[in-house]
Homo-oligomer: A and B are copies of this chain.
Amino acid sequence: MSRSGAPLVAIQGERGAFSELAVRSLFGRRARILPCAEFDALFRAAETGRCRYALAPVENTIAGSIHRVNDLLLESTLKVAGEAVIRVSHALVALPGVRLRDVRRVYSHPVALAQCERFFRRNPRLTRVATYDTAGSVRLLREEEARDAAAIAPELAARLYGARILKKGLEDHRANFTRFFALSRDGVALGPADKTSVLFSTRHVPGALFRCMGVFALRDINLLKIESRPIRGRPWEYVFHVDFEGSPKEDRCRNALRHLEEVCDFVRVLGSYPRARTPGA
């Protein structure tokens, strides 16, 4: 276990964002947090050794993959040490004394704005202002002393910045979860590893993906996820992201990874780590 001490963990966005909930679930209350404005800076913080871990959101059950993070996973040498799954619930937050009918502008991250479509359809007078972060939007209200604006953010952010919750559960869908990777330079798993993530791209021949799937199927290895992502700058070429049960400590998994290299152009093992449970599932 790497949970000893109080590791410094980088997150994208301000304190009080959903990433902070993920940090708490993996590293507990004592972990210290380094906020980063952008995903590039988040990865750099762990790559340069400035912090021990970078906490990166990889997919959301409503919005799908977080593209920029997946691009960075491909480019970076960081490895996955753990994963966390957080339930996403959006609150409408404003400064004390501001009422719902005063609000004209709503700040939040574009993904959060998109997840509250029903709310905006019911309130067409509201202007949606895209910002870099959910919790950072609450801080922005403070800085501007905004009396005609609100933010969409986790409830935790309202508490942290002394704001008030005007409305809870703004999200269109309740089955809204975000999955995070804890990334580190050494990739030492945060507990007994029973799940592995790998990226690969296939050769451009018929049946290429069939052969890749065979690597796992012929060894009775259970796939937990497969996703294809366009490769930036190479239109209509894709990299596959596969999660499977097991870790290279088992012979069949080690053999499968060796076999995968035989049939692929490119293979990168992101890491092996303890599988996270979905809250309430």
List residues of chain A with CB under 8 Å of any chain B CB.
59, 61-65, 67, 110, 113-114, 127-131, 173, 175, 177, 206-207, 209-211, 213-214, 216-217, 220-230, 232-236, 238, 278, 281
User: 22 A-B Cβ contacts within 8 A?
Assistant: A59-B230, A61-B230, A61-B232, A61-B235, A62-B230, A64-B65, A64-B67, A64-B229, A64-B230, A110-B110, A110-B113, A127-B129, A128-B129, A128-B130, A129-B130, A206-B216, A206-B217, A207-B213, A207-B216, A210-B210, A210-B217, A226-B228
Which chain B positions have C-beta within 8 A of A220? 206-207
Compute how far the CA of A164 lies from the CA of B270 in the bound complex, rounded to whole angstroms.
47
Given the known inter-chain contacts A128-B130, A130-B110, please indicate yes or no for A216 contacting B221, CB distance below 8 A.
Answer: no
CB distance B209 to A213 under 8 Å?
yes
Which chain B positions have C-beta within 8 A of A127? 129
Which chain B positions have C-beta within 8 A of A230? 59, 61-62, 64
Which chain B positions have C-beta within 8 A of A177? 235
User: Closest B-chain residue to A113, C-beta based?
Assistant: B130
CB distance A228 to B229 under 8 Å?
no
How close is A99's CB to chain B, nearest CB, in angstroms? 23
Given the known inter-chain contacts A67-B64, A209-B226, please indicate yes or no for A235 contacting B130, CB distance below 8 A.
Answer: no
Compute how far the CA of A114 lies from the CA of B64 in the bound complex, rounded to whole angstroms.
16
CB distance B223 to A225 under 8 Å?
no
User: Closest B-chain residue to A226, C-beta based?
Assistant: B228
Which chain B positions have C-beta within 8 A of A278? 235-236
How close is A234's CB to chain B, nearest CB, in angstroms? 7
How close is A125's CB to chain B, nearest CB, in angstroms? 14
Compute how far the CA of A162 lies from the CA of B206 in the bound complex, rounded to whole angstroms.
50
Compute how far the CA of A31 lies from the CA of B113 in the bound complex, rounded to whole angstroms.
34
CB distance B61 to A175 under 8 Å?
no
Compute how far the CA of A63 lies from the CA of B114 in the bound complex, rounded to whole angstroms.
15
Which chain B positions have C-beta within 8 A of A67? 62-64
How close is A201's CB to chain B, nearest CB, in angstroms? 12
Q: What 9 additional pairs, Cβ within 8 angstroms, besides A61-B232, A173-B233, A210-B217?
A: A62-B230, A110-B110, A110-B113, A130-B130, A206-B221, A210-B216, A226-B238, A227-B227, A235-B281
Compute how far the CA of A222 lies from the CA of B216 in the bound complex, rounded to whole angstroms.
21
Given the known inter-chain contacts A64-B67, A65-B64, please indicate yes or no for A222 contacting B206, CB distance below 8 A.
Answer: yes
